[in-house]
Amino acid sequence: MKHTEELILIGGGGHCRSCIDVIEMDGRFTICGIVDDKEALDSPLLKYPLLGREEDLPKLSQSCRNFLITIGQIKSPEPRIRLFEHLKQLGMTLPVIVSPRAHVSPQAMLGEGTIIMHDALVNAGASVGRNCIINTKALIEHDAVIEEHCHISTAAVVNGAAKVQRCSFVGSNAVLREHIVVGEGSIVSAGVTVLRNITPRSVLRHQFS
């Protein structure tokens, strides 16, 4: 029987359900349960037990060393950043999770705590930082850089050598032209095409050319 390591998930919402599907298909980890500040997990799809709240992490870290943050990131990266830093202070391991249905080039780099969802593609020379979500069918082209704490949403395209600076969000079906830079803490809404650099903490809701 194949040996697997134990893993605790933090956050029990919709993104967690998608992460569970990827983790189970990957097969490298056995999910022990979920940490969530709600008293009970209200979705019958979450078949794993509620292990406690965020305040219980120090105690849980004594019995399990692997954690994955399964809170989504749309409005703000702050909850994921705060949890990531807390887990690092506790000395925990945040593994990289890659769906067997995704492709990550051997020449690409992935940072700790990052998850690559089903049918995503991370091409040669691309770099994805720590604690990122590369969501279903997203494309990270050759030599692109995704800095830490970013979410690249479903079917978004980050073209060759483009850079998405830390703590940014790129919405579903958005397209970033090659070589452009999305400034730190920016939000690119769904379907937007970005053809030139954008300044930090920008919010783009329309075409940006």
| pLDDT for residue 191 | 96
| pLDDT for residue 176 | 98
| pLDDT for residue 162 | 98
Provide CATH 2.160.10.10 ranges for the chain. Answer: 96-204
| pLDDT for residue 38 | 76
Q: Per-10-residue mean pLDDT for the chain, 209 residues long?
A: 84 94 96 85 70 95 96 90 97 98 98 98 98 98 98 98 98 98 97 97 79
Q: Does domain 96-204 fall into CATH 1.10.1200.10?
A: no
Mean pLDDT over the full length of the chain:
94
| pLDDT for residue 2 | 60
| pLDDT for residue 57 | 96
Provide CATH 3.40.50.20 ranges for the chain. Answer: 5-89
CATH number, domain 5-89, options 3.40.50.20, 1.10.150.120, 3.90.1170.50, 2.60.40.10: 3.40.50.20
| pLDDT for residue 73 | 87
| pLDDT for residue 206 | 72
Give the global pTM: 0.94
In SS3 terms, the chain reads as CCCCEEEEEECCCHHHHHHHHHHHHHCCEEEEEEECCCCCCCCCCCCCCEEECHHHHHHHCCCCCEEEECCCCCCCCHHHHHHHHHHHHCCCECCCEECCCCEECCCCEECCCCEECCCCEECCCCEECCCCEECCCCEECCCCEECCCCEECCCCEECCCCEECCCCEECCCCEECCCCEECCCCEECCCCEECCCECCCCEECCCEC
